[in-house]
Structure 1
Amino acid sequence: MTWATRWSRFDTHFLELVIGLGLLLVGLFQALFPILGVTGPFPPIDTRDVDLRSTAQVPDLASGGTSLRGTHHAELAVGDPGLWDRVLLAAPEVARAVLIIVILSILLRMAATFRGGDVFVPANVRRLFAISTAVLLLGIAAPALDMLTTNALVSGTPLEDAVEIGFEVRASTVLLAILIAALAGAFGHGTRLRADTEGLV
């Protein structure tokens, strides 16, 4: 017994095209370009949005090549960043890009299974759980990396007392990860149900 859907070959190709385009854009603008900024060929990332401990105006508070511009939400600017500064500034964005690339790559493999009109295959259950894990890391690990790298950038400078070093978990991202895990469970149930039904035929 085959559990078919109305999903057409055109739908599959269109979905693969959209996911592939997303992979290309994320890979270029969120991963490759920041990495090239660290290594030299491209202009490096030299700013980071931060929160301040006070809502008082901070008029270009500077410490060496690092400065703050803003009020409660400020921009941490690193003038002429060295290699280590470039790594710290680019690391969170590159980490997010890697996780998004992982998610899109898994979705691309899932899309390939739609060609037969059957989404309830065991591999898709594992893929959905992998996507759930990657989304959870986006909500927890990426903000933690933001916190660690920001702390490293201002540590030992007069700016250290002005910048709020905090770690905020995005509840919406965690909820999305839970929902995807629940969807994976539903896929697993559908896969088992199909196997049981085929066993009766």
Structure 2
Amino acid sequence: MGVKHWWNRTDSRLLEALLGLAVLLDAVFGVVLPVLGVTGLIDPVANREVEVGTVSRLTGTVSDPAGHGMTLNGTRRAELVLAHPDLGQRVLLVLPDVIGSLFLLLVLVLLFQMARTLRGGDVFVPRNARRLTVIGLTVLVQAVLSPVLPTLTTALLVRNTAVAERIPFTITFSGEYILLALLLLALSEVFRRGARLRADTEGLV
């Protein structure tokens, strides 16, 4: 009687298709469309959700009287709206999301490459260990940049405007993503040791 494997070629194809679809969707909606908005080929992003300070909590709408076409609407979680953003403002508005999408795209491509190794029935190969290391480092860098970029770009957007004093410059890091990055780096070491053990075992046969 043959042994039934828990993973077969159909499963590999399905996983590769799902990851390929995720790569395509992230590339289109996370990178291409925002860039087209910056160039003016489609409607650009003209708003961003921001957090206003407790002391200056909004009760309505704050407009900039200097003619920058900028308003701040909401309460604690407010919406910064630019009536007619110029090229530099459009870049600042989409920059955090585009960079985040590029990091996600890198992770998805590496996962797709790892999924292809399942066709051979063995994921413990040296290339997968290196890929997991890159994924772990990518998540770690993104854990640092994710809270920094929105705050920094928002500060640049509202600089020298009346709404600037309403939006505090605060950065809060999430320990969850840092922990995830460390777990991925530890998993990459497991893969590296597994690949080395498999190579040593094959050498004894």
Looking at structure 2, the residues matched to 187 and 30 of structure 1 have their Cα atoms a distance apart, in angstroms, of 31
Backbone CA RMSD of aligned residues? 1.2
CA distance in structure 2 between the aligned counterparts of 1:89 and 1:75, rounded to whole angstroms: 12
Q: Which residue of 1 aligns with 2:91?
A: 87
1:137 CA drift (Å): 2.0
User: Moved runs in structure 1, 4+ residues, more than 3 A?
Assistant: none
Match of 2:112 among 108, 111, 130: 108
Cα deviation code 1:93-147 (max 9, x no counterpart): 1001100000000011111111000101000000000011111122111221111
Aligned to 2:62: 61
Letter in 2 for 1:14: L
Q: What is the distance in 2 between the residues matched to 1:49 and 1:137? A: 23
State the alpha-carbon separation in 2 of the partners of residues 60 and 75 from structure 1. 10
Q: 2:151 aligns with which of 125, 136, 147?
A: 147
Instruction: Give distance in 1, aligned partners of 2:192 and 2:150.
Output: 35
CA distance in 2 between partners of 1:19 and 1:75 (Å):
33
Residues 68 and 76 in structure 1, CA contact (< 8 A), matched pair in contact too? yes
Q: Cα offset for 1:58? A: 4.1
- Residue in 1 aligned with 2:37? 37
For 1:72, which of 73, 76, 81 is the aligned residue? 76
Number of matched pairs: 197
C-alpha separation in 2, matches of 1:157 and 1:116: 60
Q: Supply the distance in 1 between the matched residues of 2:42 and 2:183 (Cα, whole angstroms).
A: 39
Q: 2:194 aligns with which of 184, 190, 193?
A: 190
Matched, 1:16 2:20: no
Determine the C-alpha separation between the residues in 2 that align with 1:16 and 1:170.
30
Give the CA deviation at 1:46.
Answer: 0.7
Per mean C-alpha deviation after superposition, the further-off stretch among 100-109 and 47-56 is 47-56
> 1:29 deviation in Å?
1.1
By how many angstroms is 1:87 displaced? 0.2
- 1:58-92: CA deviations, max 9, x gaps? 42111131111111111111111110000000101
Q: What residue identity is the alignment partner of 2:134?
A: A
Q: Which amino acid is 2:62 matched to?
A: L
Distance 1:182 1:7 in 2: 24
Structure 2 SS opposite 1:92: helix
Partner residue, 1:135: 139
**Distance of 1:43 and 1:137 partners within structure 2:** 30
Contact 1:136 1:173 in 2 (8 A): yes
Segment drifting more, 135-144 vs 111-120: 135-144
- Secondary structure in structure 2 of the residue aligned to 1:69: strand
Q: State the 1:9 CA deviation.
A: 0.8
Gapped runs of 5+ residues in structure 2?
Answer: none
Q: Percent identity?
A: 41
2: CA distance between counterparts of 1:158 and 1:57? 13
Q: Which amino acid aligns with 1:190?
A: G
